[in-house]
Chain A
Amino acid sequence: MARADDYAPFRDRCAIAGIGRTEFSRDSGRSELALATEAARAAMADAGLTADDIDGVVRCQMDHNSASAMTGALALRNVGFSADVAVGGDAPCAMVGVAVAAVLSGQARHVLVYRSLNGRSEGRLGAAIAPRPEAGGHGNYDEFFTPYGLLTAPQSFALLARRHMIEYGTTEEHFGAVAIACREHANRTPHAQMHGKPLDMTQYLASRMISDPLRLFDCCLETDGAAAVIVTTAERAKDLAQPPALIRATAHAPATGMSGGMMFPSITWEEPLKLAPRNVARQLWARAGLGPQDMDVAQIYDCFTISLMLQLEQYGLCGEGESGPFVASGAISADGGSIPVNTDGGNMSGGYIHGLNHIVEGVRQMRGTADVQVKDAETCLVTSGPMGISSAMVLRRAA
């Protein structure tokens, strides 16, 4: 493992200089390329940059828009660096990490990082796999899960949620507290998809069971939309249009005792309630020279309520097994909580742009321009999807 000293010279050397996003909706009526183009142009305009300034492009490997498609769509003429980063929702903070590596190694000056999906109207990530006669092979290990009816993400995370209840006495009201906290933040964020739709515990408990113990309101949204950010050096960012959000550190790490496969094999790994975030956290805090106690606000990837709770524990924002009582105490609420989480509603109630939305909100907090602004927030933890290989970063407000 790289030592903290190895990374120290690179702390705060890069920044996010521009952010952009489209409307978040259930049916955009537009192609994913059109959405990506709008979000990218919004991020460039936000930073005060033109197409000729963008010389690096980083794509999520699940995005339907290739880096070359984006290069064409945006009429970029100076691209000299591009990369695809995996996997899906686990990738966004790692995508920023790759952009940082490109910038600090002189391969690019301004890197566009984007994610676009018609996640509701075209390809529903929450839906089952297409009916097919056979599953598995080639190291995806679906042969050990799919034939038994383990078909979707909520089912896979439900197994973890049940195990958390067994080991730690976590209750359904604990899960509900996460959904309600995210919804309360969304209700104060005009662009959030669930804006204007309050949620209380009675409504949460009445929502239909999907795969027990997870209900409808334990599951994130499916969204049509796109988001983009621009990464450059902190030095250059100072001269651009917005206050830079400094990238203190990023990390991208796999789980211990893991295998290949997308999601289902996680229940067979060494410690299913720890997974990748434990290892990401260890690397991230060392690189940042900071710890969970130093964070003023956090944007935590929330595909499900249990996903967010597991990460609270693994990043050290609460003790192991204590995430249930922690969230029930109001700790993640922007109204007086010790660590406000997902201040725009997150994936649960804001919009599901596969985790790039968490980065955009983290930058807004560091600029002081969030709709649910945490007063005087100077540091923000941002995380991406929590299973096999995950990523995270620490953002800082520029002095």
Chain B
Amino acid sequence: MTLPRIRPATWDRDTGPFFAAAAERRLVYKHCNACGRGNHVPTPSCRFCGSTDTAWREAEGKGTLYTWTTVTHPVHPAYPAPYTVVIVTLEAAPDVRLTGSVPGAPDLAPGQPMEVWFEDLGEGCVLPNWRPA
């Protein structure tokens, strides 16, 4: 039996809305109304232009594979190896790269289509996750 996964802090005032939306099965990112670029990780002002005119925006759960690593040396009892951490470029906002985790050591190719799914960690905590589309 595997141990419970590490849960994301969902109470942070800057990043909590990402997880609040995930609990409703929605994927959101921080959009800058001034320069039009997406910001992830989410911050109160835009890291590209400095504007505080930013807002959460909903995105379709589509992306492409930016990079990945298959972890073969286990370091935590809740994460038995092998598993593969994937980094996905969000189709709706190419400045946004999001993390996912795929079981095992799948054959992957750069740029391949990825899709979001919502992993329920229980007690209202939901993690947006990614898998090959």
Contact of B48 among A147, A149, A257 (CB under 8 A): A257
Closest 5 CB pairs of A and B: A128-B75, A137-B9, A143-B8, A158-B69, A136-B9
Can you sample 16 A-B contacts with CB below 8 Å? A134-B7, A136-B9, A138-B12, A148-B129, A149-B85, A152-B75, A155-B69, A158-B69, A159-B69, A162-B69, A208-B73, A212-B69, A213-B69, A257-B47, A267-B67, A267-B97
Q: A144-B15, A208-B72 are in contact. List 8 more A-B contacts (CB 8 A).
A: A136-B12, A144-B40, A146-B8, A147-B8, A155-B85, A159-B67, A159-B68, A261-B41
Contacts of B129 in A (CB 8 A): 148
Contact of A143 among B10, B71, B85 (CB under 8 A): B10
User: In the complex where A159-B85, A159-B87, A211-B70 touch, is A143 in contact with B9 (Cβ < 8 A)?
Assistant: yes
**Chain B residue nearest in CB terms to A166:** B110
Complex interface bits, A188-214 against B, C-beta within 8 A gives 1, otherwise 0? 000000000000000000001111111
> How many whole Å from B61's CB to the nearest CB in chain A?
16
Contacts of B83 in A (CB 8 A): 149
**Chain B residue nearest in CB terms to A162:** B67
Contact of B7 among A133, A141, A163 (CB under 8 A): A133
- Complexed CA–CA distance, A142 and B8 (Å): 8
- Complexed CA–CA distance, A29 and B38 (Å): 51
- Complexed CA–CA distance, A133 and B127 (Å): 14
Contacts of A145 in B (CB 8 A): 99
Complex interface bits, A106-129 against B, C-beta within 8 A gives 1, otherwise 0? 000000000000000000000111
> How many whole Å from A258's CB to the nearest CB in chain B?
7
Contacts of A142 in B (CB 8 A): 9
- Complexed CA–CA distance, A267 and B95 (Å): 11
- Complexed CA–CA distance, A144 and B42 (Å): 10
Check if B113 is an interface residue, CB within 8 A of chain A.
Answer: no
Max chain B Cβ within 10 angstroms of own Cβ: one of A127, A135, A141, A258:
A141
Contacts of A225 in B (CB 8 A): none
Question: What residues of chain B have their CB less than 8 Å away from a CB belonging to chain A?
Answer: 3-12, 14-15, 18-19, 40-41, 43, 47-48, 66-73, 75-79, 83, 85, 87, 95-101, 110, 121, 127, 129
- Complexed CA–CA distance, A331 and B103 (Å): 40
Contact of B76 among A131, A136, A159, A267 (CB under 8 A): A131
- Complexed CA–CA distance, A158 and B72 (Å): 12
Contacts of B15 in A (CB 8 A): 136-137, 141, 143-144
- Asked whether A209 lies within 8 Å of B73 as measured between CB atoms, the reply is yes
Contact of A267 among B4, B87, B127 (CB under 8 A): B87
- Asked whether A134 lies within 8 Å of B8 as measured between CB atoms, the reply is yes
Check if A151 is an interface residue, CB within 8 A of chain B.
Answer: yes
User: In the complex where A152-B75, A155-B85, A268-B97 touch, is A147 in contact with B11 (Cβ < 8 A)?
Assistant: no
- Complexed CA–CA distance, A41 and B128 (Å): 53
Contact of B68 among A162, A209, A261 (CB under 8 A): A162
Contacts of B48 in A (CB 8 A): 257, 270
Contacts of B47 in A (CB 8 A): 257-259, 270
- Complexed CA–CA distance, A268 and B88 (Å): 10
Check if A150 is an interface residue, CB within 8 A of chain B.
Answer: yes
**Chain B residue nearest in CB terms to A157:** B69
> How many whole Å from A29's CB to the nearest CB in chain B?
26
User: In the complex where A134-B8, A146-B6 touch, is A128 in contact with B76 (Cβ < 8 A)?
Assistant: yes
Contacts of A134 in B (CB 8 A): 6-9
> How many whole Å from A144's CB to the nearest CB in chain B?
6
- Asked whether A135 lies within 8 Å of B85 as measured between CB atoms, the reply is no
- Complexed CA–CA distance, A212 and B71 (Å): 7
Contact of A150 among B9, B19, B70, B99 (CB under 8 A): B99
- Asked whether B41 lies within 8 Å of A259 as measured between CB atoms, the reply is yes
> How many whole Å from A63's CB to the nearest CB in chain B?
24
> How many whole Å from A304's CB to the nearest CB in chain B?
12
Check if A3 is an interface residue, CB within 8 A of chain B.
Answer: no
> How many whole Å from B1's CB to the nearest CB in chain A?
15
Contacts of B99 in A (CB 8 A): 144-145, 148, 150
